[in-house]
Amino acid sequence: MENTISLEKPLLQEQSKAKSILLGIPLYIYAVVFSSVCIIVGLIWDISWHMSIGRDGLLSPPHLAIYLGAIVSGLFSGFQVLKISFAGSFAEKNQSVHFWKIFYSSLGGLFCIWGAIAMLTSAPFDDWWHNTYGLDVVILSPPHSILALGMMMVQFGAMIGALALQNREEKLLGWAKEDIDKRNFRLRMLFLIASALVLVTIYTIFSEFFGRNDMHKISFYQIASAIFPVFLIAVARSSKLKWAATRTSLIYMLVMASMVWILPLFPAKPLLGPVLNHITHYQAFNFPMLLVFPAIAMDWLLDKYKNKNQWLLSLMIGTAFLLILLIHHPFGDFLMSEYARNWFFGTESWYFGSDPHWEGRYKFMPWQETELVDFILGLGIGLPIAVLSTRLGLVWGKWMSQVQR
């Protein structure tokens, strides 16, 4: 009897320790958020790799980081499907999506599995594409488009996985209120972290329109008004944390800026020619957009006027977003100035194949600036785009706030 008690006591201690670490959140949730981190690190590292080294292969270090994200999300989500399907309780199955008349899974887990398959499928396709056609001249080549779709699915799966647990508000019997509050806060932060990583991916996909050279062009503001309000408002409306859009934007900025600060610390040299810009270290990707400032206004308006007519609310938020986004016009001037040529802003980074003495390196060229009249007229087009984007975000956010599987 004493031996039984002595064996049970460490087991209970281990279970209690695991509970304190995981806080009742399934391990696969942490795993898929970790996968999203791997994907973002690999994605931005890969861009920097192309700017600094040029030559890459199927198993280059940035690619391995991306594929690690796919493998981890696929394995942990797949294990979750098998566990619930063949060893899950009635309650677990009731809270899951039933598919193919056999399997049960969370909605987020399904996104992660299909995303992982798409990502891993794109790998040999991308290798063949490079061997056949050489280096990509655009971000969204056919294999990269499949990869981007897979990455977005994995990252959205991480968002939805955390969101579903947040929305269920499960009553945890025997739990102290303090532990329940810790669990709920951690779930909400996991959701915001996953959302911020999706925001990084969205920015990266459209980064060809958001460089510092584009900040005087009206297309910068029109495209930003189309893609950012819909996502930030959806996150803000579905999250149960205040200032969700602001927090998401801050995490996005921190992730992007960290890669600007960290990558140039490591040596790198070009392995392809011609080499016009002789470098010795990694060249950084873009400094992040200042999305936190319009996000603050969006959060405030959404909280203060959430019960107003949804179209009127969309008009208010869309207008605020577009007007505050205009801070990028003078910010572009700053990034072109000598004051931004330092490790913090990283504007000295330059592709090894570009002439470092090109006059447009630190100057807006004529085709990169929209005349004042055309700019004002363009804002008239950007405003309804921002309003419609916001309205779609409100609808999407309402749907996400109801997801429980």
pLDDT range class, residue 137, cuts 50, 70, 90: low
For the chain, the straight-line distance linking the first and the last C-alpha, in angstroms and rounded, comes to 43
Question: What DSSP assignment string belongs to 155-186?
Answer: HHHHHHHHHHHHHH----TT--HHHHHHHHHH
CA triplet 136, 286, 225: central angle to 5 degrees? 95
Beta bridge partners, 104, equal 98
With 0-12 / 13-18 / 19 or more C-beta atoms within 10 angstroms meaning exposed / middle / buried, residue 23 is middle
Beta bridge partners, 98, equal 104
Residue ranges with strand state E in 310-395: none
Question: What DSSP assignment string belongs to 196-254?
Answer: HHHHHHHHHHTGGG-SGGGTTSHHHHHHHHHHHHHHHHHHHHH-SSTTHHHHHHHHHHH
Quote the pLDDT of residue 5: 43
Among 212, 224, 220, 228, which residue's Cα sits nearest to residue 331?
A: 212
pLDDT range class, residue 132, cuts 50, 70, 90: low
CA distance 48 to 61: 12
* Residue 359 or residue 138, greater confidence: 359
Instruction: Give the DSSP letter of residue 281.
Output: B
Of all residues in the chain, what percent carry a pLDDT higher than 70? 89
Quote the pLDDT of residue 55: 72
Among 300, 218, 224, 272, which residue's Cα sits nearest to residue 51?
A: 272
* Residue 353 or residue 126, greater confidence: 353
Quote the pLDDT of residue 7: 35
CA distance 220 to 185: 35
Count Cα neighbours of 5 within 13 Å in the Cβ-side half-sphere: 2
Quote the pLDDT of residue 45: 93
Quote the pLDDT of residue 136: 59
Over residues 222-244, the mean pLDDT reads 94
Quote the pLDDT of residue 8: 38
CA distance 43 to 49: 10
Q: Say if residues 191 and 163 touch (Cβ distance below 8 Å).
A: yes
pLDDT at 398 over 80: yes
CA distance 127 to 13: 49
pLDDT tens figures, 175-232: 777 777 788 888 889 999 999 999 999 999 999 999 999 999 999 999 999 999 999 9
pLDDT at 245 over 80: yes
Neighbours of 98 (CB within 10 A): 13
Tokens, residue 296: 């603050």
pTM over 0.75: yes
Count Cα neighbours of 43 within 13 Å in the Cβ-side half-sphere: 30
For the chain, give the mean pLDDT.
86
pLDDT range class, residue 21, cuts 50, 70, 90: low
pLDDT range class, residue 15, cuts 50, 70, 90: very low
Tokens, residue 247: 């927090």
Q: Say if residues 386 and 318 touch (Cβ distance below 8 Å).
A: yes
pLDDT at 1 over 50: no
In the chain, where the domains are located: 25-205, 211-405
pLDDT range class, residue 134, cuts 50, 70, 90: low
Please name the amino acid found at residue 302: L
pLDDT range class, residue 9, cuts 50, 70, 90: very low
Name the one residue in this structure whose structure tokens are 């947040």.
Answer: 166
Quote the pLDDT of residue 106: 79
